[in-house]
Amino acid sequence: MKYLIIIIGPTAIGKTALSIQLAHAFDCEIISCDSRQFFKEMTIGTAVPDAEELAAAQHHFIHNKSIFEEYTVGDFEKEALAKLDELFQRRDFVIMVGGSGLYVDAVLKGFDEFPEIDASVREKITSEYEAKGIGYLQSQVEKLDPVYFSQVDTQNPQRLMRALEVCLGTGKPYSSFRKQKTNKRGFTPVVIGLDAPRDIIYDRINKRVDVMVSEGLVEEARNLHPHKNLNALQTVGYRELFDYFEGKISLDFAIEEIKKNTRRFAKRQLTWFRRNELATWFDAGKHEEIVNFIKKKAI
């Protein structure tokens, strides 16, 4: 039997530390399932495992892409399944860790099949967005697909435009095309959810942002600012600093916005992951309890 141990939970909860401990306990390798850590130009703002952590266990899908490449959840599904096939030839366990719920679902169940949409629909949406701003996208998606609107990062224009494109191009909600099928996989998933009291999660997030700033987040974002329209950079920690560079807000305000938006992101992550019926949830600090649970379940 082959087991994929999947660690889910909100940002800053301690998934990386647990994944390394489990890699040692079960003598296996780690697949990153964090859609921001794929990109080699983004290090500090994506909380990539540090050199010591990367050396402690073999990691895959970290800094393996460039922000200048188009990389979709469908691409990740194919590459991750191929890597799993390879790793399972050598080991009975593999660990997958990350906070990107859609990417976790793609590996577990398969990526949804969406219909082809006429390019003119996307062109019209892009034109409206450039003229009216993100508020236009938000209001349209909320009206046409309130289910997806309650789940999506409402500050990510690329995700909103994609949803709106499907809504307008098919006359059906974007969410109606998702989770239509479940593909059989050659492994048994063991899904571990990490949680903690909300005030502890928020405190960890605030402290992590302060550390990122001290380690050079502002400089990293400044180097990426010329490419701010790339899809990979439509994310918390960079958007706020882009506004600072453009004189729209102060640096102190940008940092507070990063903290606030990261807290909101963590809340959305938990909402998404809570729907995973396979997950068993643990307090984030109960590492030994988690190891024992997996041993009883899989050995």
3-state secondary structure the chain: CCEEEEEECCCCCCHHHHHHHHHHHCCCCEEECCCCCCECCCCCCCCCCCHHHHHHCCEECCCCECCCCCCCHHHHHHHHHHHHHHHHCCCCEEEEECCCHHHHHHHHHCCCCCCCCCHHHHHHHHHHHHHHCHHHHHHHHHHHCHHHHCCCCCCCHHHHHHHHHHHHHHCCCHHHHCCCCCCCCCCEEEEEEEECCHHHHHHHHHHHHHHHHHCCHHHHHHHHHHHCCCHHHCCCCCHHHHHHHCCCCCHHHHHHHHHHHHHHHHHHHHHHHHCCCCEEEEECCCHHHHHHHHHHHHC
- Chain centroid to CA 170: 27
Q: Could you give the domains of the chain?
A: 3-112+180-298 (3.40.50.300), 119-177 (1.10.20.140)
CB of 245 within 8 A of CB of 225? yes
Joined together, the tokens standing for residue 188 give 């048994």
**Pairing relation of β-strands 188-195 and 30-32?**
unpaired
pLDDT tens, the chain, 299 aa long:
999 999 999 999 999 999 999 999 999 999 999 999 999 999 999 999 999 999 999 999 999 999 999 888 888 999 999 999 999 999 999 999 988 888 898 899 886 677 778 778 888 898 899 889 999 999 999 999 999 998 888 888 888 999 999 999 888 899 888 765 667 899 999 999 999 999 999 999 999 999 999 999 999 999 999 999 898 898 999 999 999 999 999 999 999 999 999 999 999 899 889 988 999 999 999 999 999 999 998 86
Query: Is 99 marked as a binding-site residue?
Result: no
Query: Is 14 marked as a binding-site residue?
Result: yes
Query: Is 7 marked as a binding-site residue?
Result: no
Number of Cβ within 10 Å of residue 294's Cβ equals 20
Query: Is 12 marked as a binding-site residue?
Result: yes
The predicted structure's pLDDT at residue 34: 94
pTM for this model (two decimals)? 0.80
Query: Is 154 marked as a binding-site residue?
Result: no
**Exposure string (b/e) for 124-162, b if CB count within 10 Å is 16 or more?**
ebeeebeeeeeebbbebbeebbeebbebbbbbbbbbbbb
- Dihedral, CA of residue 243, residue 246, residue 247 and residue 251, to nearest 10: 50
**Pairing relation of β-strands 188-195 and 279-283?**
parallel
Query: Is 9 marked as a binding-site residue?
Result: yes
Quote the CA–CA distance of 237 and 228 in Å, as a whole number. Answer: 12
The predicted structure's pLDDT at residue 111: 65
The predicted structure's pLDDT at residue 101: 87
The predicted structure's pLDDT at residue 170: 85
